[in-house]
Amino acid sequence: MNSRPSSPFDANPSMAPERIITVELTDRSYTVLVGAGLLQRSDLWTRGIRAHQVLIVTSAPIAQHYLNPMLKTLERFSPEVIVIPDGEQHKTLQTLELIFDKLMQLRFDRSATLIALGGGVICDMTGFAAACYRRGIAVIHAPTTLLAQVDAAIGGKTGVNHHLGKNMIGAFYQPSMVVIDTDTLSTLPVRQLQAGLAEIIKYGLLADEPFFNWIENNLSEILGLRSQAVQKAVLTSCQIKARIVAEDETEQGIRALLNLGHTFAHAIETLTNYQSWLHGEAVGTGLVMAAHLSMLLGYISTHDYERIANLIHKAGLPTRPGLDIDPKSMLDAMKQDKKIIDGTLRLIVIERIGQAKVSSDVPLVLLETTLNTFCQTYA
């Protein structure tokens, strides 16, 4: 990004119990609410539900903790529930059809509202179902993982995976509201919390150097779920994403920067069949690889590359694809990326910490150097 507003961390504002961010999209603008205990605030939910046809979409691990509290909060709407399989490997058209089956069986009409209660997979699939059912019904996101709170729930990217590529089937479809209850992070496994940190670090790298510096200095506070640190991390990430989405909703320009590290990450996920890596773990490795490539291009110094790699490592995230992925397979998978235009692979590179750009002319020899550095080469 060539211009950056001052970071919220420059002023170090005090955190209110509930913060409101608006994603400015003219007649489709919506609010993102950030705070503690919001899943129990029935007054907030009344604002976003238009009629009494409500379907909560969730998964078993999330339902165990939050389904009954949500049913109580929404009892005036008598919501229906569908529990779909958990995990990235189930983010498929076959699972999506389960949601459509439920909606058809209930005879829900166009006034219906879907509520995505869960992580990124739930948000992506529920949003896509809302975009398709009767050519569009309302959807509210209630993200319960750190990664979903700062990424998947905001911006309207919806979709499912294909065995040849991640998120290759989907649509841009904005929610009517996003409710981020940071208390839900208390039941999040440590691995999931670490995975969410990858996306938070990404925002600092591409748009906000003071935020990146703050993450370095407060990493243990975030991992320790200190309320003020967590809310600052989530709030600032959401502010950055909301600003970029408002400027470029359908990724024709600046929004592509949000894919920093993701071309590498999606290739890793595809090559491992979405089985062994969490999305945020792959993004963490992708950020390190993008930083290495940016160093080879002469944009960032060795010192800054090491800062980035060390932060990813300290966050508990992997920094290499592993021994099962070779450079050629990695490059082939990257060539299936959605960001390819007219056969040209576009990569997001870091010009400096706090600023990134889209590059369509990365020399193949440098990309191969990065792949050979990080991936196992077979004899």
Look up 199 and say whether it is catalytic.
yes
User: What's the pLDDT tens digit per position in 290-315?
Assistant: 999 999 999 999 999 999 999 999 99
Catalytic residue selected from 88, 202, 259, 281 = 259
The CB density around residue 186, as the number of other CB atoms within 10 Å, is 10
Look up 251 and say whether it is catalytic.
yes
Cα–Cα distance, 68 to 180 (Å, whole number): 17
Among 73, 75, 222, 246, smallest CA distance to 149 is for 222
Burial (CB count within 10 angstroms: exposed 0-12, middle 13-18, buried 19+), residue 250: exposed
The tokens describing 228, both together, are 């003020």
CB 315 within 8 A of CB 198: yes
Global pTM reads 0.90
pLDDT at residue 6 is higher than 70: no
Catalytic residue selected from 262, 338, 339, 357 = 262
CB 158 within 8 A of CB 170: yes
DSSP 108-129: --TT-EEEEEESHHHHHHHHHH
Beta-sheet strand order (sheet of 18-23): 18-23, 30-35, 177-181, 138-143, 113-118, 54-59, 80-84
Q: Cβ contacts of residue 13 below 8 Å, gap of 6+? A: none
pLDDT at residue 1 is higher than 80: no
Cα–Cα distance, 325 to 255 (Å, whole number): 29
Look up 351 and say whether it is catalytic.
no
Bridge partners (DSSP) of residue 179 are 33
The CB density around residue 338, as the number of other CB atoms within 10 Å, is 18
Look up 12 and say whether it is catalytic.
no
115-126 mean pLDDT:
97
pLDDT at residue 251 is higher than 90: no
pLDDT at residue 379 is higher than 70: no
Cα–Cα distance, 39 to 117 (Å, whole number): 10
Catalytic residue selected from 135, 163, 217, 303 = 135
pLDDT at residue 164 is higher than 70: yes
The tokens describing 137, both together, are 């019904």
Catalytic residue selected from 91, 255, 292, 357 = 255
Catalytic residue selected from 88, 251, 269, 281 = 251
Catalytic residue selected from 141, 202, 279, 292 = 279
Cα–Cα distance, 11 to 50 (Å, whole number): 38
Alpha-carbon radius of gyration of the chain: 20
| Three-class DSSP category at 158 | strand
Q: What phi-psi label fits residue 209: left (phi over 0), alpha (psi between -120 and 50 degrees) or beta?
A: alpha
User: What's the pLDDT tens digit per position in 174-223?
Assistant: 999 999 999 999 999 999 999 999 999 999 999 999 999 999 999 999 99
Catalytic residue selected from 90, 91, 157, 339 = 157
| Three-class DSSP category at 144 | coil
Look up 88 and say whether it is catalytic.
no
Look up 91 and say whether it is catalytic.
no
Sequence-ordered strand ranges (E) for 74-222: 80-84, 113-118, 138-143, 157-162, 165-172, 177-181
- Judged by average pLDDT, the poorest of 96-105, 148-157, 199-208, 272-281 is 272-281
Catalytic residue selected from 199, 281, 338, 357 = 199
- Which domains are assigned to the chain? 8-187 (3.40.50.1970), 190-374 (1.20.1090.10)
Look up 102 and say whether it is catalytic.
no
Cα–Cα distance, 295 to 302 (Å, whole number): 6
| Residues across the chain | 379
Look up 135 and say whether it is catalytic.
yes
Element at 34 (helix H, strand E) = strand 30-35
